[in-house]
Structure 1
């Protein structure tokens, strides 16, 4: 029996001190804005991956608060884990090999259609905007068992 092959991706709904959301336009989906993110590397904890991806794409340092949703794209076998995160620092700097554009935008449910045009990205982002609690997330190393990190409503 062959092991299943799935792509795991992460993204982050990041807001700054002004309540503006960090959104990007990618080269391959330039018809829409979306929260920054990308693929998780083999063996990489999800919270580390989302911090790395946001930094690589935008120059922004974030701190994940929690997971707001888990989504699956059956066409390409992609599991997407979405985090809510806070802006920690850094200057917005577009990495042209990664993305086409990046901005902090005053995003609301009323104006989201002006920015996020793809329905699956819109529903994920609305879930983040509305999130009052988060899905617990832990990273473990086993043999011996060692809890490396935990995100939850109490973290």
Structure 2
């Protein structure tokens, strides 16, 4: 049996796929920012994860922040789009306000804390700290790329 595949189907098969994630920059009234220490690698990051096929980005942010921190949020606005060029992940980051709940860890986090902007820069790698700091500057949405460790310049 001879199988025929159109050029467009062949091109689609060879085109790399991307994953879409969402994350919340949760800002308290005192200016502190919600962060987690990840259980899998011990790094400090903002709460977030993979967007599910059947949910809106805003619903995904609310779900991920609640799952990882115990905090309910109101989603305000998109503050940045960040692409990890090494892993093919596009992250949509939204500024949020806390709307109830209590901080708790989860299977994905070993610590949950409210950090100052200075602590964010100290505790987090550049590619994660910039997401929180971008959300505070009001100049977004920002569009940035990184290789998983460092920001890369626009091409």
Q: TM-score, normalised by structure 2?
A: 0.76
The more displaced of 124-133 and 65-74 is 124-133
Structure 1 segment 93-104 matched on structure 2, within 5 A:
93-95=104-106, 97-104=107-114
- Alignment counterpart, residue 122 of structure 2, candidates 108, 114, 136: 114
CA RMSD of aligned residues (A): 1.8
Moved over 6 A (4+): none
Please point out which of 80, 84, 92 is paired with 2:91: 80
Residue number in structure 2 paired with 1:53: 64
Partner of 1:130: 137
Is contact 2:81–2:141 with CA below 8 Å preserved after alignment? no
Residue 111 of structure 1: how far off its partner (Å) = 4.0
Computing the radius of gyration from Cα coordinates, the structure with the larger value is 2
Residues in 1 aligned to 2:140 and 2:93: alpha-carbon distance in whole angstroms? 13
Q: What is the distance in 2 between the residues matched to 1:99 and 1:47? A: 21
TM-score (normalizing by structure 1) = 0.76
Deviation for aligned residue 1:125: 1.7
Alpha-carbon separation, structure 2, partners of 1:93 and 1:111: 20
Unaligned runs of 5+ in 1: 136-155
Q: 1:89 aligns with which of 90, 93, 100?
A: 100
Gaps of 5+ in 2: 1-8, 143-155
Secondary structure (helix, strand or coil) at the match of 1:44 reads coil
1:19 aligns with 2:31: yes
